[in-house]
Chains A and B, each alone.
Chain A
Amino acid sequence: EIVLTQSPGTLSLSPGERATLSCRASQSVSSTYLAWYQQKPGQAPRLLIYGASSRATGIPDRFSGSGSGTDFTLTISRLEPEDFAVYYCQQYGSSPPMYTFGQGTKLEIK
């Protein structure tokens, strides 16, 4: 089973700043199998990025994803007040077929 480790656990930044969130896999992951989600308190997760770098429908272009192999990054170029939330990465493994999530990064207002 592939384990995803997200860092940092908590990131304290101010609106307008740039946020860089990391997701590291315990073994190589196909880029098409890597996604990012945003979750606000009391809400379901929302898909942000799929295929490591493709933005989901309706996601602002300040959100971008990059990476390959074992290291993936979610970047928010200029933080808006509504971006403060918890972010999860997710990967798909085929043997056996299953999905795993990272433990999450909490992005909080500094």
Chain B
Amino acid sequence: QVQLQESGPGLVKPSGTLSLTCAVSGGSISNNNWWTWIRQPPGKGLEWIGEIFHSGSTNNNPSLKSRVTISVDKSKNQFSLKLSSVTAADTAIYYCARRAVYYNYYYMDVWGKGSTVTVSS
């Protein structure tokens, strides 16, 4: 059973870069899945950040695109998120999730527990 675990600094300074890693266990990151980042500001709803395939192909949210870098490390079975030029508006719980490739369906079926990131000086 695939499990995901986010890790990274819980505090980032304004204008800095947020960096998170999602470790995949119980399965290979090279399987036929897309690996996704989603965030949730305190008390608010869900926002999709972007996704990556093991080949390195990515899709990102246009509203964040210029600040987002998602990468994959197959040797470590993990993928990562970098979000640059952060402000207080980027304070959120950051989730990694799996988007299984299944016919023409699009959904996230496995989620990490989430990593809280606060942007503050």
Contact = CB atoms under 8 A, between A and B. Distances in A.
B97 to A, nearest CB: 8
Contact of A88 (B46, B61, B62, B104): B46
Contacts of B105: 32-33, 50-51, 54
Counting contact residues on chain B (CB < 8 A from A), the size range is 20 to 34
Contact of B106 (A44, A92, A103, A104): A92
A99 B111 contact: no
A99 B45 contact: no
A108 to B, nearest CB: 15
A80 to B, nearest CB: 22
B111 A90 contact: no
Q: Report the 4 A-B pairs with minimum CB-CB distance, sorted nearest first.
A: A92-B106, A35-B107, A44-B111, A99-B48
Counting contact residues on chain A (CB < 8 A from B), the size range is 20 to 34
Interface of B: 36, 45-48, 59, 61-62, 95, 103-109, 111-114
25 contacts: A30-B104, A32-B103, A32-B104, A32-B105, A33-B104, A33-B106, A35-B106, A35-B108, A43-B113, A44-B114, A45-B46, A45-B111, A50-B105, A50-B109, A51-B107, A88-B45, A90-B46, A90-B108, A99-B48, A101-B45, A101-B46, A101-B47, A101-B48, A103-B45, A104-B45
